[in-house]
Amino acid sequence: MGGGGGGVNPATVGDVLLISGDAEKIGSGGSETYTLLKSIRLGRNGAYRVKFDFKAPYNGSRIWGKIYKNGNPIGTEQTITSDTYVTFSEDFEGIVTGDLVQLYCKQEVTGGGLYTRNFRIYVDKLASDSVILD
């Protein structure tokens, strides 16, 4: 059995929290370019559920969020105009040991920043080599 996820069964999607970056992070606003806000490196091949909360700085300001893997978009573009947190969830297959699962966001107008929290990864059951702490 090899290390780094090769010696265990692949992860499968479920509702058991594996790891989270729950701290609120405020990204710099005013750009229509996606900016990296949160990142988690996974240590097990398989499929994962990714959830995150985000909100606009004020009601009516449009914010977008999207999940990336290793700097490349893989998720559905999510958008809100609410100044209260909204949770989004999406399942991903084909994650390989060492992949970075990342949250990128952007905002349509200048001012106020964009807000995110509770970047969370879920599986069906825990395994000791599911994450890699850098």
Confidence of residue 126 (pLDDT cuts 50, 70, 90): confident
The confidence score (pLDDT) of residue 134 equals 62
| pLDDT score of 61 more than 60 | yes
pLDDT > 90 fraction of the chain, expressed in percent and rounded: 62
Q: For residues 75-90, give the mean pLDDT.
A: 94
* Structural domains of the chain sorted by starting position, each given as residue range(s) with its CATH number in brackets: 16-123 (2.60.120.40)
The confidence score (pLDDT) of residue 113 equals 79
The confidence score (pLDDT) of residue 2 equals 40
Closest CA to 61 of 99, 17, 111: 111
